[in-house]
Each structure stands twice: as C-alpha cells, then as structure tokens.
Amino acid sequence: MSTRPESDSQPNPRPRTTVLTFAEKRRKGEPITMLTAYDYPTARAVDAAGIDAILVGDSLAMVVLGHPNTLSVTMDEMLHHAKAVKRGATSSLLVGDMPFMSYQADAAEAVRNAGRFLQEAGMDAVKLEGGREYVETIRHITRAGIPVQGHIGLTPQSVNALGGWRVQGRTASDARALLDDALALEDAGCFSVVLESLPYRLGSYITERLTIPTIGIGAGPGTSGQVLVIHDVLGLYDRFTPRFAKRYADLADVQARAIAAYRDEVASGQFPTREHAYAIPDEEWARFLDTPGARLAGPAEGQGR
C-alpha cells in the first residue's frame, strides 16, 4: 500500500457544488449527477470524476454493512462514514442521509441530528424520506440553516409499510398523492427532491411542476438529475439489483480474481519476491550476524529467495 503525505491533498480543478449550483443547473436544463459513497477512497474517485453531489446514503446499511434493509443503520454509523467521505471530497456537494428514527419521532430531535451531519461530519445538506407528513420537520431544519433534500416514491425506510420494494405511483390516486407530496416538499423549502421507483411519465410530470430540481432513481429520463448507489454502478452488490440500477463495471469479478490470484501466489511461493521486499546493506547484515547469539546454526543465514 502506498502512503501519501498529509500535504498531498487533491488538486481542486472545479468550484464546489452548492445548492445554488443545483438551482442553476435546473434553470439551464443541465442534468445533475449524483452518486452514493460511504468511504474515503470512493469519495475521492467520485469527486475527481466531477460528479455534482455525493450522497452518504443509508443504503450503507445494505451494501456496506450487510443488513437486509436500511432500517438498522444508526446516526453514529452514518456519521462515521460521512466523516470519511468528507475527507475524500473537495468539490461535490455532500448530502448526509437521515437514518431511520433520526427524524421521525419529533422535529427538535430531527434538527439536532441534521445539525450533527453538518457540525461533526462536514456535510453540506441532509436528505430525508417522506412527503406531506414531514413538512413541519423540514421547515424546522431549513430554519436552522440546513439545506434539505426530500425523497418520495419508494422510500426504503417504509419498506414494511409499503409491503415490499414496489414501484410507487402506478394508480391515478397514488400518482396524485406523490405530486402533492412533491409540491409540499418544495413549499417546505427543500432544495431538491429525490424521486425513487415511480413511472417515468410521473417523474417527468413532477419535474415540470416543480421549480426545484428532481433527482431520479428509477424515475425515468425526465428528471433534473440522476442518482445511483455506487455499488450497483460498479457491480459490487448482487443481493438485490433493481431494474433501474445500470451496472457500468463488474468489480466483484475483478475483486474475486485478484483475491484468488493472491491466494494462489502465496500458496505456491510466487509472492512475495525481492521486488516486493526491502534490502539491508551487506555490511550492516554482517555486523548484525556478529552480534551475540545472532548467528543461526545453518549454513546460509538470511539469504532467502
């Protein structure tokens, strides 16, 4: 593993994305790009690629921590990963995802937990799931100067109430309810809204009705931007792959091959060779062997391969 001196910070080739950049892109009709990240190296890669925003999503629970859904991840676990992401990103807008039970019980607790994302982890904004029922909570958070991204449609924290991972808004009344939720979130002061797993016509329609940007995930091509879970993009999670998750690489396969090659080379003695080892000057080695009790009984001490 290479080690980098602390001063070797990343070059900063682009200005920081802010919530104003989101609004500007929406106004100009430029697609907004967003991906999740949960650690320092991934945040570095996503940031360096010029992705507008990084979501430290509660999908962390599933794709990194191995839980069956997003309900078990805690505020402290989210903060731990958000801090690592912050250390890797210089330009992307950083959004901390409010985990289950960090905002549902009461508005004061929601404000405190949202504040922790900014104060302790250096996030720029928070995201929370839910529609009209969270308007008051969102008003409290935005009044504290914390930008909020809404999230409606398939809201994974409500997977039990929704009866599973199902596409939302497929009936006229459900579609109408989602539109009303989206309008209420805009009115409450959200700077953008994530639309997850809903019909593409509804995704476009809600986008046209709002003045704030919509970020789609399984909401078709007509939203103001797109977000995906990085493990789906890289092919690193195969327990559950929704239809909308396009895989751009198969890193699980690359990883499996590399691990197997390492295993085989160590087992066969091919690794490590001197190419991956450190030398000591001959005279120092000789002096070392001359120290009391250092000489082995065998003929060739320290000759190695």
For ligand KIV, the closer of residues 83 and 271 by Cβ is: 83
**Which residue of 229, 233, 234, 236 would you call a contact of ligand KIV, by CB under 6 A?**
229
x-marked contacts with ligand KIV along 7-26 as a string, rule CB under 6 A: --------------------
Q: Could you tell me the two tokens for 29?
A: 């009709």
Task: Indicate if the alpha-carbon torsion angle 66, 71, 72, 75 is positive or negative.
Answer: positive
* Cβ–Cβ < 8 Å for 123, 81: no
Residue 187 tokens, joined:
């009115």
DSSP states of 130-190: BSGGGHHHHHHHHHTT--EEEEEES-GGGHHHHTSS-----SHHHHHHHHHHHHHHHHHT-
Q: Which of 17, 33, 36, 197: binder of ligand KIV (CB under 6 A)?
A: 36
Interface residue with ligand KIV, options 217, 219, 234, 236 (CB under 6 A): 217
**Which of 59, 91, 168, 224 touches ligand KIV (CB under 6 A)?**
59
Q: Which stretch binds ligand KIV (CB under 6 A): 12-20, 50-58, 84-92, 99-107?
A: 50-58
Q: Shortest CA distance to 77 belongs to which of 59, 91, 89, 94? A: 59
Q: Which residue is nearest to ligand KIV (CB)?
A: 57
Given the residues 129, 133, 136, 196, the one annotated as active site: 196
Interface with ligand KIV, residue 42, by CB under 6 A = no
Give the residue with the Cβ less far from ligand KIV, 56 or 146.
56
Measured CA to CA, the distance from residue 305 to residue 295 in angstroms comes to 19
Active site residues: 196
